[in-house]
Structure 1
Amino acid sequence: MKAALYPNFQKKNALSCARDTCDVLNASGIEVSVSGEFREDFKDKPFVIFEDIEVSAQTADIVIAIGGDGTILRCAKFLMGTDTKLLGINTGTLGFMAGLEADQLDKLVLLTNGEYEISKRMTIEVVIHDGDEERVYTALNEVSARSGSFRICDFDVFSDGYLVGRYRADGILFSTPSGSTAYALSAGGPIVEPDLECIEMTLICPHSLFSRATLFAPDRQLRITDRTKGDGSMVISVDGEVNKILGENESIEIRRGKNDLNFVNLIGNSFHESLCRKMCKPLK
């Protein structure tokens, strides 16, 4: 069995956690690889293999992201289209997507005997047209279209070619069930269990008394068209990374992603247990 580490050493205690993770995996008979850029941090561990994460994502049985939720999201991009499993170890503030905390590394031995659960997480794709070029980006959490100039935006939303509504708002989010507890939750959207399959639409600060989040079936073909007067009113972001600025009458399409991601749950925590433990009390 092979495990690859994807650490974020900007997070407090991530380096010590990554080094301890290497030791636990090695003691369990699991081959360990880390990106060559961290060679100095692991040079005293002769069992560590150094290879790029792009390679490890294709050849490893599991990739272990060490950091916060942002680290897990960045790591997930390397696993799109693979069967490689993903496990997050939290050394950040919230780490809602993580399967383990930094003080639970002894549980990694469960990887060797299959005593863990797999949670399949659906993704969504955004299709962006740039002249004759069509670019497709995949999100694990959400695609956002929001004001880039602090102006209110006007836009239309269509589902399978039919008009859903015309809106005025600071923007709009299209989220996966995993993303329902991220930006969409802060924008007033519902909490959706990650095992459900749907696309959530949540308006950001709508200029309306009656706007509500909407759940679409996962096979819907959604489209948003910017109707705001002037150029460059809406910024398109995929899991927090800016990918496109829309102009008046330009559109993007949203659809279910072609591939799910396999998240590892080692300690049997249910979604609701994690929700209550990490979100029902103030963050320190």
Structure 2
Amino acid sequence: MNNERRNLYFFYQPNDELNEKLPHLFKLAEENDFHIVEESKDANIIIAVGGDGTFLQAVRKTGFRQDCLYVGIRTSNEAGLYCDFDIENHSEMVHSMVNAQIEVRRFPVIEATVNNQSTFKCLNECSVRSTLIKTIDIDVFIDDLHFETFRGDGLIVATPTGSTGYNKSTKGAVVDPKLPCFQVSELASLNNNRFRTLGSSFILSSERKLTLHVQQNGNDFPIIGMDNEAFSISNIQEVTVHLSQDVIKTVKLKHNTYWDRVKRTFL
């Protein structure tokens, strides 16, 4: 581990289990010349303890920082696609970091801009979903091409790492995060003589821009999901999505690839 990366910030939701286990990890880190800081802005390593949901929150709450590493520690019965380390084996994490037995990986991030005003970053996915008990109509543009008019419950735009989440539950493909791309998947599309969609997920390269025009027909107050947070924005007319130049740098154990974790989680 680079000697300059010695300031640790722990992001977690306190509970009885963590309150009991984390002091041992804090002590072990300090014994190995790491420094625990109280503010995330002072850290160059941000450690999320709790699972993939906590990892997503840690990245979002600390501003998708480009100048630090993110580390995920899973707790019992938690998924771990973003988390290489286990709370029960915290000594392994410190030993690996001290002895450079880790590698840095870079996860793609997408940017979603709503109504040409507010821009949000997403590590997992951005979703546009109806909040009413009726379908939502969306004109889908790829670059300047009108690709289709969607009618259904909504659309999901997922990063490669986000492809194993909400996207996978809609039968979207699982994508290797080494591919700079993003994926669009449908939520309960309606296909008939008037509305016709591709009917399957499709993958766009980093050079593409996706534009979603929400038709103003009384269902123009959809929920915008950014990773595991929901935003209710009035009068949504347009959402544009593209792959960001930013990436999230995380650490992984050597010989523990993304596909190792996919196999461990799903197979």
- TM-score after normalising by structure 1: 0.83
> After the TM superposition, which residues 147-166 of structure 1 pair with which residues of structure 2 at under 5 Å, given as runs?
147-166=130-149
Aligned residue identity for 1:169: G
Gaps of 5+ in 2: 1-5, 192-196
Partner of 1:274: 261
1:262 equivalent in structure 2: 249
Displacement after TM superposition at 1:178 (Å): 0.9
Does the Cα contact within 8 Å between 2:50 and 2:78 map onto a contact in 1? no
Check conservation: 2:59, 2:65, Cα contact below 8 A. no
State the number of aligned residues: 254
Cα distance change, pair 269–17 in 1 and its aligned pair in 2 (3 A)? farther
Question: 1:72 is matched with which residue?
Answer: 55
Match of residue 112 from structure 2: 126
- CA spacing shift, 1:15–1:219, aligned 2, 3 Å: farther
Deviation at 1:228, TM superposition (A): 5.7
Q: Deviations over 1:7-36 (max 9, x none)?
A: 2225x7333332222122112221122xxx
Taking a change above 3 Å as real, the CA distance of residues 194 and 174 of structure 1, as seen in their structure-2 partners, is same
Q: Whole-Å Cα distance in 2 between the matches of residues 20 and 151 of structure 1?
A: 52
Q: Which amino acid aligns with 1:25?
A: A
Amino acid at match of 1:245: I
Tell me the secondary structure at the aligned position of residue 246 of structure 2: coil
Aligned equivalents of 2:56, 2:113: Cα separation in 1: 19
User: Conserved in 2, the CA contact under 8 Å of 1:155 and 1:228?
Assistant: no
* 1:244-259 alignment runs, 5 A limit: 244-245=232-233, 247=235, 250-259=237-246
Deviant stretches of 4+, over 3 Å: 244-248
Question: Paired residue for 2:225?
Answer: 237
CA distance in 1, matches of 2:164, 2:19: 27
Letter in structure 2 aligned against 1:162: L
- Do the aligned residues in 2 keep the contact of 1:117 with 1:268 (CA within 8 Å)? no
C-alpha distance 106-267 of structure 1, shift in aligned 2 (>3 A)? farther
Is 1:219 matched up with 2:207? Answer: yes
One-letter amino acid of the structure 1 residue matched with residue 145 of structure 2: Y
| Number of the residue aligned with 2:68 | 84
1:135 aligns with 2:118: yes
**Alignment correspondent of 1:3:** 8
Q: Which amino acid aligns with 1:21?
A: L
* Cα distance in 2, alignment partners of residues 96 and 150 from structure 1: 33
- Which residue in 1 is equivalent to 2:150? 167
Root-mean-square deviation (CA), in Å?
Answer: 2.0
Any idea what the Cα deviations from partners look like across 1:96-155, whole Å, max 9, x if unmatched?
2111111221222221232211110010011112xxx71111000000001111321111
Q: Report what 1:201 is aligned to.
A: 184
Offset at 1:246?
A: 5.7
Contact 2:208 2:242 in 1 (8 A): yes
On the 8 A contact 1:128/1:136 being kept in 2, the answer is: yes
Structure 1 residues 268 and 23: CA distance shift in structure 2, 3 A:
farther
Gap runs ≥5 in structure 1: 34-50
Describe the superposition over 1:183-221 as per-residue Cα deviations: whole angstroms up to 9, x where unpaired.
101111000112221010011122239501000001211
Of 201-210 and 164-173, deviating more is 201-210
**Partner residue of 2:87 out of 102, 114, 125:** 102
* Equivalent-residue separation in structure 1 for 2:253 and 2:30 (angstroms): 18
| Percent of pairs with identical residues | 22
SS of match in other structure, 1:259 = strand
- Asked if structure 2 preserves the Cα contact closer than 8 Å seen for 1:5 and 1:18, the reply is no
